[in-house]
Amino acid sequence: MKGAFCGVVLAASVSVNAVSASDETAIAGFDKKFQAAISEHNVPGAAFAIIKDGKVISAKGYGTRALGADLPVTGDTVFRLASVSKTFSAELAAMMVAEGKFNFDDRLSKYVPDFRLKTPGHAGKLKINHILSHTTGLTPNAYDNMLEDGWALTKIIPRFKRLKPMCGPGSCYGYQNIAYSFIEPVIEKATGERFEKLMQARIFQPLGMKDSSVGLEGYLSSANRAEPHVLTRNGWYRTSVKANYYTVAPAAGVNASIMDLAKWVRAQMGHNEEVLSAELLQTVTAKRVQTKREMRKRMWRPHLKDAYYGYGWRIYEIGGEDIVMHGGGVSGFRSLVGYNKERGIGHVMLMNAETRTIDKLGAEFWAAVTAEPAQAGGADSAR
């Protein structure tokens, strides 16, 4: 398959003591599995990267950015991250909390005063930590259907006053996009800065994520961008980018290349503490609420023993170990990121097509990694 931009199999600089046999097998064999999967499903374009102890040890891109064009996927090709955007927004929020701009226990009504729900007093009890952990009590994906139909947020949000929550604040899990996006007005009112500007200044630039942006304009401004593809009876069909989920930017509005995403996951494992402190990373990955629905996901079900949500991150238990991760999907794009800090392994994938093969690849990769206990050494050996 055409389009490989680089490929390094287990860099020699990685300590042998830090790599178990299962780690090495999973890493060394992943490129072959990746190629086979995207070939089987005729995925137009895709890329992956694997990080070990702070180094990108394998990275490949295959296929085309747009069907019908000779535009190979490279390490700098920009994809939509969809819900992986939540990981960035949660950590930007955590930065602002650390600097005293606001608190996770602040009432949401302080920043979004017009938000109402059918149950009297419920909205007034909501705190910022509830929107970041999806514990607002709202039914899952509340009013996403209207977002997908192109409704403006100004018309959707007033409709929440018709919605009766299914539980009290903090009592149950219900995944949200619209409610999650309320972190944007929180951050902007608390700092006096635009959300996009802060994301660029505090995360993208310090981490060297040169291809990353927030919003539709940022995506369109990249000449090296992947186009979305949807599956029809006649195979994959190239379509145009829809703006709807960009209106909830903190939930689904970040764009990035595979090499930028590798930098993001590298930082999650403690290799950029001047940008993302150990305390901040611990805060966002603490298990806030159990997510039993995740246990029923077809591709993950054979491997998943337990699942939780933190602030913008999922925590999956696979093989007795915690894998911190998040996936994303919008029309024509899929993304998946994950890491295990103890093993020092990170794994990222991007595709310009809506296909479940990304979940199968991710689930099988982490099952293979955790098949044997980690060896001595691990993430700290590369500090």
Q: What is the pLDDT of residues 143-201, one digit of tens each?
A: 999 999 999 999 999 999 999 999 999 999 999 999 999 999 999 999 999 999 999 99
pLDDT, position 375? 67
Query: Is the model's pLDDT at 10 over the cut of 50?
Result: no
pLDDT, position 12? 28
State what percent of residues in the chain have pLDDT above 70.
Answer: 93
Q: Alpha carbon of 99 to those of 149, 220, 223, 247, 324: distances in Å?
A: 38, 33, 36, 27, 25
Beta carbons of 64 and 73 less than 8 angstroms apart: yes
State what percent of residues in the chain have pLDDT above 90.
Answer: 89
Taken in order 121, 126, 131, 134, the sign of the CA dihedral is negative
The residue-averaged pLDDT of 290-319 equals 95
pLDDT, position 348? 98
Query: Is the model's pLDDT at 51 over the cut of 60?
Result: yes
pLDDT mean across residues, the chain:
92
How many angstroms separate the CA atoms of 195 and 89, rounded?
9
pLDDT, position 19? 57
The residue-averaged pLDDT of 12-21 equals 45
* pTM listed for this prediction: 0.93
